[in-house]
Amino acid sequence: MQKNSYIEPVYLISAVAEILDIHPQTLRQYEREGLIKPSRTNGKIRLYSQKDINHIKYVLTLTRELGVNLAGVDIILQLNQKIEELENDVLNLKSRIQTTTNLSVVPDKKALVIQKSSLEIVVLEKK
């Protein structure tokens, strides 16, 4: 499956409700609660992508199988988003560190490394 087809909003609310064996009102409630955000046509018709359907399946797993209420689902979704952002930040920082360590040593700078617990702090000073 191509990535574009995964995010392309093509499913009507009735089709998604049938696919997931839920009432369309459940989808409307999830939208009111801010748990899902379907696309809209110019005529305000809700359209869902395969990505949206997978997201709804996750919400249903949390509510049906794990017994999480909708407020809890909202918190879990926010935390998952924050984790994803932090993971991206870590990857960017690792990339910057790798780039920095691959640079040749600049002769007019010296590095001071201070060990505090298990974290290393590197301070660059000009000579």
pLDDT per residue as tens digits for the range 56-78: 999 999 999 999 999 999 999 99
User: What's the rounded Cα separation, in Å, for the pair 71 and 62?
Assistant: 11
Contact between 117 and 99 (Cβ < 8 Å)? no
Give the pLDDT confidence of 8-43 residue by residue, as tens digits. Answer: 999 999 999 999 999 999 999 999 999 999 999 999
Which domains, and CATH codes, for the chain? Answer: 1-68 (1.10.1660.10), 71-127 (no CATH)
